[in-house]
Amino acid sequence: MSHAGHRSPRIRPFLDLCTSHLSAPARDALDTFEGVLAYPTGHGWLMYAPESAVERAAAFGWPAELLAIVKLAHAHDCAYVLFDADADETDELPLFDE
């Protein structure tokens, strides 16, 4: 069935990232930071990487590593970050062994 003005669904990729790229305080409060949309999963979080991250980080005092993560997601054209304890680590971000 065809509808006038029908468009294909929008597909938005995510950055799959180990939770070790977040400090313990950031992990403890990730889904409570003002301006952050993050949803707990069984082993981490799914977080929206907003285009306005620089402004939100400055306005709401995000941890530095969180802004760096969102910038990395944007550099790879990702709209989301999936933090998972079993995901790979990257040399592009600091690690926190807490």
Digitized pLDDT (tens) for each residue of the chain, 98 residues in all = 555 677 889 888 999 999 999 999 999 999 899 999 999 999 999 999 999 999 999 999 999 999 999 999 999 999 999 999 999 999 999 999 86
Token representation of residue 21:
């790229």
Are the C-beta atoms of 16 and 84 separated by less than 8 Å?
Answer: yes
Closest CA to 85 of 22, 6, 36, 7: 22
Residue pair 46/77 in contact by the 8 Å Cβ criterion: no
Q: What are the DSSP E strand ranges found in 1-98?
A: 14-18, 38-40, 44-48, 80-84
Instruction: With H, G, I as helix, E, B as strand and everything else as coil, classify residue 77.
Output: coil
